[in-house]
Amino acid sequence: MVTKKNTPNRYKKSNKKSRKLKTFPGGKVLLGKSGFIFFICAMSLGFTYMHDAVLQCPLFDVKTIMIDGLDRVTREEILVRTGLDKPANMFELRPDMLEKELNTHPWIRVATVKRQLFSTISIKIEEQAPLAIVTIENLADIVINTRGAPFKTYEAAKDDLTALPVISGVDLSLSNSTYLFEGALFNAVMEILKIKNVGQIKSILGDENTGIRINILNMSPETGFTKNSGDTKSENKALLPVKLGFDQFEKKLARARQIQRYVKSNYPNQTISAMDLFNLKKVFVTLDHQVTMEDAAQNTTAKGV
């Protein structure tokens, strides 16, 4: 018996599945990133163009500069220090940086810079208020403000502060990396300078042992101490040294004026050359000429001090 060999039918349709093309899973992500980067670049270029256009647009050029509060500082100094002496664009300027630059000027205490509308810069200046000149051995003289803080070196030719009192006998101390005047002696000096209606104090000397001594103008005894007359020679002759000690300065200065008026009224030919008010209970007064017994008899203490 012959066995038939089964041969595969070459015409039979194959049951094999055809392969499909698979997509790369990161393709969409890569395409999205590329689009985002392109968008950012386009935006950056757009903003750069707009920025340059604004800076070059004449509409935003600084045309008006308003400056308030100037006395010692000149307008030209402000313009040069801020760079506003040259053409500038409103949006090119940084008000905070201009303020910092202005605040480095020794006579400027606080500066405020603001933009207004399209082409106006407003600058407000608060200048230092000088109170006195402090002399320190082996150092340049220093100007202090009304708070007692030193703010500049005294330049006689430029500052024109001859009317201010000159303080000596106090030292600078270092506090928080800043040099300041402080301590009981300096506080006493500041207390005297804050008293009103004192007149023209020319100098103040501080001493740790004897306290405060002032030299004050004594040019019009009938009305109390006077202010600057403008005559330097006569002022030097009329300076009255007054020892005040460490406390009760307002009472002591009031007593000094009372003594001055009393001497003028009762001893018109006499002039006070010095006063010692260290202790109000024991006041010493020195006259240019000795008072005679006859003068003393005619003017008893009941009539005055």
The full 3-state SS of 234-284, as one line of letters, equals HHHHHEEEEEEECCCHHHHHHHHHHHHHHHHHHCCCCCEEEEEEEECCEEE
Instruction: Name the residue with higher pLDDT: 122 or 30.
Output: 122
Residue 240 domain flag: yes
Arithmetic mean of pLDDT, 5-12? 57
Instruction: Name the residue with higher pLDDT: 238 or 189.
Output: 189
Instruction: Name the residue with higher pLDDT: 134 or 228.
Output: 134
Whether 152 and 291 map to the same domain: the answer is yes
Q: What does the pLDDT read at residue 301?
A: 45
Whether 79 and 90 map to the same domain: the answer is yes
What are the pLDDT digits (tens) for 102-115?
999 999 999 999 98
Whether 215 and 240 map to the same domain: the answer is yes
Whether 259 and 185 map to the same domain: the answer is yes
Q: What does the pLDDT read at residue 264?
A: 85
Whether 264 and 142 map to the same domain: the answer is yes
Percent of the chain clearing pLDDT 90 (strictly above): 44
Arithmetic mean of pLDDT, 204-221? 85
Q: What does the pLDDT read at residue 288?
A: 78
Residue 219 domain flag: yes
Instruction: Name the residue with higher pLDDT: 34 or 157.
Output: 157
Domain boundary among 69, 97, 127: 127
Whether 108 and 81 map to the same domain: the answer is yes
Whether 179 and 95 map to the same domain: the answer is no
Arithmetic mean of pLDDT, 85-100? 89
Residue 3 domain flag: no
What are the pLDDT digits (tens) for 252-302?
999 998 888 888 888 888 888 899 999 999 999 998 765 554 555 455 544
Arithmetic mean of pLDDT, 203-230? 76
Give me the CATH number covering residue 64: 3.10.20.310
Whether 107 and 139 map to the same domain: the answer is no
Residue 145 domain flag: yes
Domain boundary among 106, 127, 148: 127
Residue 22 domain flag: no
> What is the rounded distance in angstroms from the CA atom of residue 241 to the CA atom of residue 285?
10
Whether 135 and 220 map to the same domain: the answer is yes
Residue 172 domain flag: yes
Whether 104 and 233 map to the same domain: the answer is no
Residue 38 domain flag: no
Q: Which of 28-32, 168-172, 200-204, 245-249 has the lowest mean pLDDT?
A: 28-32
pTM score, whole prediction: 0.71
CB 165 within 8 A of CB 127: no
Whether 113 and 139 map to the same domain: the answer is no
Instruction: Name the residue with higher pLDDT: 303 or 278.
Output: 278
Percent of the chain clearing pLDDT 70 (strictly above): 68
pLDDT at 13 over 80: no
The per-residue DSSP string of 110-177 comes to EEEEEEETTTEEEEEEEE--EEEEE--TTS--EEEETTS-EEEE--HHHH--TTS-EEES--EEEETT
Arithmetic mean of pLDDT, 14-43? 58
Six token digits for residue 68: 């308030």
Q: What does the pLDDT read at residue 260?
A: 86
The β-bridge partners of 130 are: 145
Domain boundary among 74, 104, 127: 127
* Type of residue found at 94: R
Q: What does the pLDDT read at residue 215?
A: 94
Residue 44 domain flag: no
Arithmetic mean of pLDDT, 28-53? 58
Q: Which domain holds residue 62?
A: 58-127
Arithmetic mean of pLDDT, 133-159? 92
Q: What does the pLDDT read at residue 83?
A: 92
Q: What does the pLDDT read at residue 32?
A: 60
Q: How many domains does the chain have?
A: 2
Whether 281 and 135 map to the same domain: the answer is yes
